[in-house]
């Protein structure tokens, strides 16, 4: 009976993976690791095997992995030393002797020309996994469609969209669908040291986003591409933290350079249906 440990299990992506797993295997086959005790109690009520801990706590990692065949490492946030946290998980998996490890990476065209330095950890983690000798599955996920409201702001129907992304395009996909596809791979595909690139079936610019929001809402939404320096001044004047502004500019510059525009059919294949379109996704995300 194959047992899967999902780390970072109480986040949105982890939940999407678990919801799909629960439809197809027994809850006793699913181990979950999280530092959120309240949400772990909810998972206990669903008969999942829960472990309290985090990526900085090696003992908790080893304890959670005992008895697991596969570990799904959901990438850490950028608040701490993410690369060291990932190494801790990989080292623990190797120490325990799990059969395979899977990792949620990012679907980007060229690691050597990235501007957003936050993305480097993903590729370095991939390298560390491959060097570990563990059997692996790499899930390279495109930028979540779910983040579009964060990029364009709450007042988008009044202000329009201003981003330093030029005419760059993104093959947006919904986070929950990527989680579903990941679960399907873990359940149905042999761990053969393979990389999956989960993207939508079309790539879209922010001008496409603006046009689609206009169509859905009946309110004209315009996209104005701006220079990064102008965007930075504007955001700082609005009171955003400098670190957040730099992060946003990094994402946008990579979009401008079409780092996020690659399209594959991996997501469609492992969903068993076409991924949600931009129009249907925006309708859902903006409640239109």
In a domain, 229, yes or no: no
CB of 32 closer than 8 Å to CB of 5: yes
In a domain, 221, yes or no: no
Distance CA 243, CA 250 (A): 11
164 assigned to some structural domain: no
Residue 255 lies inside a defined structural domain of this protein: no
Which residue range is the domain that position 90 belongs to?
A: 4-141+174-198+263-275
Query: Does a structural domain hold residue 231?
Result: no
3-state secondary structure string across the chain: CCCEEEECCCCHHHHHHHHHHHCCCCHHHEEEEECCHHHHHHHHCCCCEEEECCCCCHHHHHHHHCCCCEEEECCCCCCCCHHHHHHHHHHHHHHHCCCEEEEEEECCCCHHHCCCHHHHHHHHHHHHHHHHCCEEEEEEECCEHHHHHHHHCCCHHHHCEEECCCCCCECCECHHHHHHHHHHHHHHCCCCCEEEEECCCCCECHHHHHHHHHHHHCCCCCEEECCHHHHHHHHHHCCCCHHHHHHHHHHHHHHHCCCCCCCCCHHHHHHCCCCCCHHHHHHHHCCC
How much is the pLDDT for 192? 82
C-alpha span between 274 and 180 (Å, rounded): 13
Query: Looking at the domain assignment, is residue 55 inside a domain?
Result: yes
pLDDT in tens, the chain (288 residues): 589 999 988 889 999 999 999 999 999 999 999 988 888 999 999 999 999 999 999 999 999 999 999 999 999 988 879 999 999 999 999 999 999 999 999 999 999 999 999 999 999 999 999 999 999 999 999 999 999 999 998 899 999 999 999 999 999 999 999 999 999 999 998 778 999 999 999 999 999 999 999 999 999 999 999 999 999 999 899 898 998 899 999 999 999 999 999 999 999 999 999 999 999 999 999 999
Distance CA 285, CA 279 (A): 10
Per-residue model confidence (pLDDT) at position 28: 92
**Is residue 26 one of the residues assigned to a domain?**
yes
281 part of a folded domain: no
Count up the domains in the chain and report the number. Answer: 1
Tell me the CATH number at 184.
3.40.50.720
The per-residue pLDDT for 154 is 86
């Amino acid at each position: 009976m194959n047992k899967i440990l999902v780390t970072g299990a109480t986040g949105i992506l982890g939940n999407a993976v678990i919801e799909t797993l629960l439809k197809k295997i027994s809850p006793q086959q699913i181990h979950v690791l999280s530092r959120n005790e309240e949400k772990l109690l909810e998972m206990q009520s669903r008969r999942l095997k829960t472990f309290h801990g985090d990526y900085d706590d090696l003992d908790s990692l080893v304890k959670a992995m005992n008895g697991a065949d596969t570990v799904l490492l959901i990438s850490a946030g950028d608040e701490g030393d993410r690369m060291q946290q990932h190494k801790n998980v990989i080292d623990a998996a190797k120490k325990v002797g799990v059969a395979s490890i899977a990792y949620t990476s990012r679907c980007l065209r060229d690691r050597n020309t990235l501007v957003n330095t936050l993305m480097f950890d993903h590729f370095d983690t991939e390298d560390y996994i491959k060097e570990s000798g563990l059997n692996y599955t790499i899930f390279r996920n495109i930028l979540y469609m779910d983040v579009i409201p964060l990029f364009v702001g709450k007042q988008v129907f009044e202000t329009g969209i201003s981003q330093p992304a030029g005419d760059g395009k993104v093959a947006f996909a919904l986070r929950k669908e990527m989680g579903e596809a990941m679960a399907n791979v873990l359940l149905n595909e042999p761990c053969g040291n393979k990389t999956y690139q989960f993207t939508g079936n079309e790539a879209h610019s922010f001008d496409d986003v603006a046009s689609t929001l206009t169509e859905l809402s009946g309110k004209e939404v315009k996209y104005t591409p701006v220079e990064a320096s102008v965007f930075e001044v504007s955001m700082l004047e609005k009171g955003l933290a400098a670190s957040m502004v730099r992060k946003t500019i990094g994402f946008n510059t990579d979009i401008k350079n079409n780092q996020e525009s690659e399209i594959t059919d991996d997501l469609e294949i492992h969903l068993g249906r076409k991924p949600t379109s931009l129009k249907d996704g925006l309708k859902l995300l903006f409640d239109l």
